[in-house]
Structure 1
């Protein structure tokens, strides 16, 4: 079977986008892993499918699969790429606020003048049961041990679980081992995206993320949202923050509890192709 795809990226977090509006996506985990291979396949962090909505209040549904074939609940950079893809397909206009349904629920997207995309990611979730994170009492931070290293982490969901660690330098060599270990920590029964954040100023962060199912990535949109939200909850950052990731910069705005969080950044097309299988 031949399936057409678009290769896209959001500040280096790369995707294959498949049009499933007329025909449902029928790819098993092994096929997704083969497509994701950067030597023998297409290569990507996540695969995105665009499909008819299950929720009638939304215009479209998008599915998310990690490079290892596992499903994901949310992807901030992916949401921006979905919006840009739909705009190119003539389905949404610049300036139009559109509801999209993700595996973790509805979000809203808006294409801005100049090609960037703003995404209403919803309100950050700190309730451990909803993240999920195995702890009895909700707190701003938690003491855990990772491979013999005591850490203080924040735990938050942006539609997928995140562990956020404040560090003095995101390029510290010990993080190479701590990232995968924290992603697989037993306190996170579904795994977690491990974000290591450096506070440069009240409006400026530097971030490095190890994603469950994808590994170290050039950018993680939900990770940037989670890092900002965790620090905002502690009063460490302002309402608007610039987050520098290895692949580029995102703008995050969150007034605080009871409000939704907005992310803004670019989405780029790389090439079109066909997968022969």
Structure 2
């Protein structure tokens, strides 16, 4: 029997999401339902975010990409969830749990939401052999894995690699305004207008290679706009930027 599912559509600089609160909605997490919701022929989104608000101080989240695969991090999505919690429950801070990892999110003001994404981990390429093309870069795990590359974007990325990595391209050098330009092809979603974890991964890469030349924050520009990445002495990285409520709706499963 079909049933109505309440949802909220949101975006973070064009990176768009459908949020369903499974504390209130009995959503059947089938591959068919997930990909239908994400399809641009229906509601359409880059990621589907299933959250449980039974305790708004600690919200559990499951992230689905538009192709139905799961993800363990989405910086833009976490900011969208924080704005959702603020609009629905008037809370200004919460812990959001994804894949058993806690992320602290806060409302700073009308235009800024912060998420502490922790310390990045650099992985050896020996663990992930990339033999299809001569990519020059590093693998950075910021809750999900990004292969960070200095240079122009490329559509010539083998599907085997896209099943495991997000690809973050750094377009030129950090400029005099502490601005970095990037473009990201996300695993399971493709090219997106903005990617929060990609911004974090790119800044982590730049800090590693230029530790004495940088000061916090770095601004990261993508097609959808500019995000800020802040860090402390312990190299814990914080993503700061806007999110936007679009509309509430009902989907018939």
**What TM-score comes out, normalization by structure 2 length?**
0.89
Unmatched tracts of structure 1, length 5 or more:
137-142
1:143-182 to 2 correspondences below 5 Å: 144-147=130-133, 150-167=134-151, 170=152, 175-178=153-156, 180-181=157-158
Secondary structure in 1 matching 2:122: coil
- The partner residue of 1:29 within 31, 42, 59 is 31
Residues 216 and 104 (structure 1 numbering): CA distance in 2 closer, same or farther, change over 3 Å?
farther
Q: How far, CA to CA, are the matches of 1:184 and 1:201 in structure 2?
A: 34
Residues 58 and 122 (structure 1 numbering): CA distance in 2 closer, same or farther, change over 3 Å?
farther
Task: Report the equivalent of 1:201.
Answer: 175
Secondary structure in 2 matching 1:154: strand
Unmatched tracts of structure 2, length 5 or more:
none
CA contact (8 A) 1:12 1:247 kept: yes
Q: Does 1:135 align with 2:127?
A: yes
Task: Report the equivalent of 2:98.
Answer: 102
Task: Report the equivalent of 2:110.
Answer: 114
- The partner residue of 2:196 within 205, 212, 221 is 221
CA contact (8 A) 1:104 1:159 kept: no
Let me know the Cα RMSD of the aligned residues: 2.4
Aligned length: 247
1:100 to partner: Cα distance: 1.6
Task: Report the equivalent of 2:85.
Answer: 86
1:21 to partner: Cα distance: 2.2
Task: Report the equivalent of 2:235.
Answer: 259
1:24 to partner: Cα distance: 5.5
After TM superposition, where is structure 1 displaced by more than 4 Å over at least 4 residues in a row?
none
Task: Report the equivalent of 1:44.
Answer: 45
**What TM-score comes out, normalization by structure 1 length?**
0.82
Q: How far, CA to CA, are the matches of 1:104 and 1:263 in structure 2?
A: 20
Q: How far, CA to CA, are the matches of 1:144 and 1:102 in structure 2?
A: 28
Q: Does 1:192 align with 2:165?
A: yes
Task: Report the equivalent of 1:239.
Answer: 216
CA contact (8 A) 1:225 1:261 kept: yes
Residues 50 and 144 (structure 1 numbering): CA distance in 2 closer, same or farther, change over 3 Å?
closer
Q: How far, CA to CA, are the matches of 1:89 and 1:67 in structure 2?
A: 25
Superposed CA offset, 1:153-204 (max 9, x none): 111111101100011xx4xxxx3423x43x632xx8x610000012232621
CA contact (8 A) 1:64 1:103 kept: no
